[in-house]
Structure 1
Amino acid sequence: MDDDVFISGELDSWPSKSEMADLLRGAGFSVNVGTYSIHLDDCEHFVFQEYGGDISTPTIDADGSSLDKMLYDGTRVSSALSASDIRHRFEIYNSDGDMVGYLHHQWPLPADPAEPKNFEWLSPWWSTENQDEQFHSGFKNELEAEVCTDHPLHGIETRLVARGNGDDALFELLDGSGRHAVVHLTWARHPEPLPWPATEIYNSFNSFVNDRMIPEHYQIDT
């Protein structure tokens, strides 16, 4: 259990309070609209505050009893905002002040590290950081053996970052692009015909987290 996990959030442009309430209801939330707030009843604690009138720019007050819960609530709200094309970002912090998650729509981090400090993986994904060189080279060599000349990863240096379900593996592409790829290896040990090995490429580590790891963990349809 993680104490005091919270979100520091920002919207580029805020809809009116009634518009926000409507889009949240449309996404399946139960909302309680106050004079200057919108409270999401089915989240552990998620409130849009100072909302309405000429008080100030609205703020987000959101926290949870665990990282899992905060990620779940934050992802649902982020998905609702994204569906309405509202540019936003949610930084998720633990009680030590470390950013342990990042959700956004069209607002990537200025510098997207391969893996943020103290990043907490969600099952089925787990970091291979503590595995030895032989473990990493085994996956790297197998990937190189399987990709044919027409495969999008052919000729690109990679680094194994994490493992997922079955033969799924996450590789960082070392071409300066910041991209990451989830590859389902076949372990054939020879070039495979397309589309094998099945590959999904993400523009950044955060894109992998938002579009693959979190939805897979919570089995959220995207």
Structure 2
Amino acid sequence: MSSPAPPEKFNWPKPWRLINSSESSQEVLGSQPYEPDPKKFTFEAELQHEVCPSHPLYRVNCQAVARSLEHPDAFIFATDRPDMPVAFVHLTWRVEEGPEFPYTIGYPSWEAFNVAWTAGCVDHAP
């Protein structure tokens, strides 16, 4: 995937933390309303499971890179979409029928994402 990774030594604004590559999916799956196969579960697969064809991230290659410390269903994805290489996504843990969910905000760069979250200019509650 050609998604832009966060810059090295990226200063994550609150409440974000980098997702550890060894992070267990069990901490996420144990509290969800359905039971996906933990052997096949990824945050990327869950995102594609939820989005409908009119959602901006439908069939877009994405990589989960950060997770909110305040909202366990909120993630930052790097995408291969040129106009939205960084996306804030609030997962719903169900298949959605409209483009408004999972709630998504796209950013044109890592810098734009950082500025928006540092300044508190983000409506992150769907």
TM over 0.5: yes
Q: Which residue of 1 aligns with 2:86?
A: 180
Encode CA deviations 1:99-131: one digit per residue, 9 max, x unaligned: xxxxxxxxxxxxxx6322222323211011x23
Among candidates 33, 45, 49, match of residue 141 of structure 1: 45
Using structure 2 for the length normalisation, give the TM-score: 0.69
| Structure 2 unaligned residues grouped into runs of 5+ | 26-40
What secondary structure, in the 3-state scheme, does the structure 2 residue paired with 1:182 have? strand
Secondary structure of 1:169 counterpart: strand
Q: 1:14-40, CA deviations, whole angstroms, 9 ceiling, x for partnerless residues?
A: xxxxxxxxxxxxxxxxxxxxxxxxxxx
CA 1:131–1:152: 2 relative to 1, 3 Å: same
Aligned partners of 1:162 and 1:203: how far apart in 2? 17
**Contact 1:179 1:201 (8 Å CA) reproduced:** yes
Cα distance between partner residues in 2 of 1:133 and 1:151: 27
Give the letter aligned to residue 205 of structure 1. W
Higher helix share: 1
- 1:199 is matched with which residue? 104
Aligned to 1:116: 7
The number of equivalent residue pairs is 102
Check if 1:132 corresponds to 2:38.
no
Q: Distance in 2 between the 1:118 and 1:178 partners?
A: 21
Distance 1:122 1:208 in 2: 9
Say whether residues 1:170 and 2:73 are aligned partners. no
Kindly state the Cα deviation for residue 133 of structure 1 after the two structures are TM-superposed: 7.4
In structure 2, do the counterparts of structure 1 residues 157 and 125 end up closer, same or farther at CA, with 3 Å as the change threshold? Answer: same
Higher RCO, Cα 8 Å, sep 6+ = 2
Q: Helix, strand or coil: the match of 1:211?
A: helix
Aligned twin of 1:99: none
Task: Report the alpha carbon displacement of residue 134 of structure 1 after superposing the two structures with TM.
Answer: 6.3
Tell me the CA shift for residue 196 of structure 1: 0.6
* CA RMSD between the two structures: 2.4
Is 2:13–2:114's contact at 8 Å kept on the other side of the alignment?
no
Following TM superposition, by how much is the alpha carbon of 1:178 offset from its aligned partner in structure 2, in angstroms? 6.4
Letter paired with 2:113: F
* Structure 1: unaligned runs, 5 residues or longer: 1-112
2: distance between equivalents of 1:153 and 1:178? 9
Q: Which has the larger radius of gyration?
A: 1
Aligned to 1:159: 63
Q: Distance in 2 between matches of 1:125 and 1:147?
A: 23
TM-score normalized with structure 1 length? 0.41
Q: Residues 183 and 198 of structure 1 are in contact (CA less than 8 Å); yes or no, is this contact kept in structure 2?
A: yes
